[in-house]
Structure 1
């Protein structure tokens, strides 16, 4: 199995980091330090080496270091497909992010052909008990890891839906205006739906085939409507049939944007939303690991994992089990915690980095690299 790893990382005026250089090779990285020191900012920078807006879904302007607000730059060396690729990303004066791959300007979605990055952050801890939008985003992030076309389909769908919703709000009734938009919505919506269905199948298989210390989840894609039309032709018919109802509501009421992810703790038969906080966290970890295993089988290399403060929610036995699974998978994991002791059971070679805060600036120091 080939390796996928970010071996060098440089941050310049990114968030709290004025300048940080991390050389870690293909090894796992354990980052520790007090809250607010800038640990998560490093993980956010790594998350930019995959399509999308990163683990915080922040704008390029929000990522710049304050108060200078000069702009920022993130660069690194990515080992992928048995080659080393130089990737640079930057923003100047709040402008949209620019990307270069091996010194050539590229669209950021181009990174999907090289890199897969999965993450678990504290903001996801309430995934099962909050609104459907967060669960759709969680599912779509997993779908994107398997299907690079998912990002383009999602962006196209959202843009077209905004145009259709504008017509609805303005009470436009001419069917000619809706026909073209609904055709585009149906084409991209069918891709989104199929990618989600296939993603759940991949996750289910990966959970069933693995021996893991973490509980498995039965997952189902549900919709506000009784059923989600699966073909573009059926979905187009559904948009047309719902048009008068949508006019009354002023928005589109049918389609993949109305989907939800329903999860059940398999062993107990309890909906994930009714599980304890610890069980909900364990289910999330299980799904991230299943996503990683399924990807490794599909593309021949495990993805890069970003696990922010994940150890704080686990007892020593579960922490050891998590680290053992990461090691068995062969994935490069970037992990954060408040203390070095949280990574005591991390076996094998790894890089330890201590992050501190000094006069409003984050400072990172490689403590051990073995």
Structure 2
């Protein structure tokens, strides 16, 4: 199979879809890999390393996109829609439920879109989302601590406080992978931490491992309001696999929050769990509404691209190799990849995406069968 690795185009997106190690595994299996020159530079991976792994370096993005399968990190931007073509397998993060134009573009071009974030094992795990959720969760607390500084528009609160002065009050909405990792860093910094979730088992897990170092609350409107109104930092860590995140914080709640408090909405890729969330970039990461600083960068892990690239490839390489070796048969044989299939030759194959935009949904296996 001919596989393309284009350079990422989103603002300050320094990750890359494949490491030289993944490329080497592909070329050893007899596949051809086209790497756009400079694709790995942001993660300190040189063209020479890719060439040593057996790749061919191409200068133009359109050459890498002309492949049978394109492997990326982030979803195509509008400027890249013209590179989409029928029968292409696109393997990347897609987050279609919050991006109708991209959804329509994939359908119109007949692209087979397999989304990292919806690849799901029989046990319900999301193996390709987990590594970036771990990175984003840990970063969310670090970033929140930075923007709590007065010089960045925050309340001027130190996360761990000092003897005789209270530490920061941190509220984390969601006890999944992002929330758990955010809590780990927040507790470690000495902050007062409260985690909210609808899943009692997850709250019990956190309560057991932290032995009273954090508080847990069931996530409902009453508890959310009480906790966020007393918070210096709020981290949005809600996940609806493949779907749009619910608004847990409405615009009407903001005036009651502390002035200079900070919201880091990690769910921004899914539309955000705060009504006032809108995607920002690393170049212009924050905005202020009703005295509350919002940080809503949609590709947070790209700020630590080398860590993120290697963490992501440790999970994606297995599926990339299977898709290269078996093509669409890999999807037919592998339940996790069936969950990952979001679009195929003009059909939406993921229920949450179809529901969000009022489109019809086709079962993945049925779509694959009818398209042959």
Could you state the TM-score of these two structures normalised by the residue count of structure 1?
A: 0.28
Higher strand share: 1
Could you state the TM-score of these two structures normalised by the residue count of structure 2?
A: 0.27
**Structure with the larger RCO, 1 or 2 (CA within 8 Å, 6+ apart):** 1
